[in-house]
Amino acid sequence: MNTQDSPSPSNPTQFHDPWFIAVWPGMGGVAANAGVYLLSKLEMTMIGEFDASGLFDVDQVMVEAGIIQPPRRPQNRFFAWKDPAAKRDLIVFLGEAQPPAGKHAFCKQLSTLARGFGATRVFTFAAMATDMRPDQASRVFAASTGEQELLELKGHGLEALESGHIGGLNGILPAVAAELGLAGACLLGEMPHIFSRLPYPKASLAILDAFCRISGFVLDLAELREQARAVDDRLGALWEQLQEAYRGQHGEESQEETFAPEQPEELLEAADKQRIEALFEKAAGDRSKAFELKQELDRLGVFKEYEDRFLDLFKRNGSEP
């Protein structure tokens, strides 16, 4: 692990009773959006990077102004928030991609680091696609590694994922963490399956609202709530248009067809670039404003291109202890 002046993961006294959250990109951007919102609103600080380059290959390179750029592997970063009230700190792991192989070994290393930080509970966030409509509330489903923890989650209004499977690291990490003596759980935010290829912040909002109830954290969710409302308005209108078109082709009594509209491609105009630069400058002075920048990058479909620069906003600066 590269620490970049970070507290040592072998010294758990650096943090007070921390909980550990791991998120990766996935369906609807649900987990990553929730993770980035935490970084922004808690003004978290990057404390290190997890070097897992040996598990990732390179299948494409970027080209800028005709010049092929050096190959780049997915990054894995740790961020921390120290509770001013000294009740419970929080550590967030943000991975850019899941490794194609070696997932169990990856999760064992990550769980060992979490335990080294002093964490007692490990959470992953994920999306769960159902036949819900955009005008319905997103439920949060939970799966836990222990019966007592599951009862606690259900007591906070979460629904148990009674059966099925959780794909990838979202399920493997809690299971491996349990092998090391850590309580593990996955929180899954509900989203419409027909929009699974589009960002769905309402599921992110539901997950964070549930996590606040579980942890006792106080988090201002107003900005995420507004983003969710705006997206739901657009998707609701799209839903009605698609249903009307489908009924026109197949009749009123036809069953709804599963479809997944593609996100439209948008060209980044000069005005967009200027607005992005202004938002970067704003967020550099106040990290709590970073989610406003994230929303704009998502709206333009260019967050991936700016991801490294965006996450650099959370690096420790010289004025911090």
Question: Are 119 and 51 contained in the same domain?
Answer: yes
What is the rounded CA–CA span in Å between residue 90 and residue 119? 9
More confident residue, 272 or 223: 223
Is residue 235 situated within a structural domain? no
Reply yes or no on whether the pLDDT at 265 is more than 50.
Answer: no
Is residue 28 situated within a structural domain? yes
Q: Which helix (H) or strand (E) holds 105?
A: helix 103-116
CATH for 86? 3.40.50.10900
pLDDT in tens, 204-259: 999 999 999 999 989 999 999 999 999 888 887 776 776 666 556 655 544 444 44
What pLDDT shows up at residue 194? 84
When computed from its CA atoms, the radius of gyration of the chain, rounded to whole angstroms, is 20
Question: Are 146 and 28 contained in the same domain?
Answer: yes
Report the predicted TM-score, pTM, of the whole model to 2 decimal places.
Answer: 0.78
Question: Are 80 and 224 contained in the same domain?
Answer: yes
Is residue 73 situated within a structural domain? yes
50-84: burial string, b at 16+ Cβ within 10 Å, e else: bebeebbeeeeeeeeeeeeeeeebbbbbbbbbbee
Question: Are 157 and 116 contained in the same domain?
Answer: yes
How many domains, in total, are found in the chain? 2
Domain that includes residue 164, residue range: 1-7+14-57+66-230
Reply yes or no on whether the pLDDT at 56 is more than 70.
Answer: yes
Question: Are 201 and 275 contained in the same domain?
Answer: no
What pLDDT shows up at residue 248? 62
Under a CB-based contact definition with an 8 Å cutoff, are residues 193 and 256 in contact? no
Quote the percentage of the chain above a pLDDT of 70. 85
Task: Please state whether beta strands 76-81 and 45-49 pair in parallel, antiparallel, or not at all (unpaired).
Answer: antiparallel
Question: Are 170 and 39 contained in the same domain?
Answer: yes
pLDDT band at residue 316 using 50, 70 and 90 as cut-offs:
low
Domain boundary among 188, 212, 230: 230
pLDDT in tens, 61-93: 888 888 888 888 888 999 999 999 888 999 999
Question: Are 89 and 26 contained in the same domain?
Answer: yes
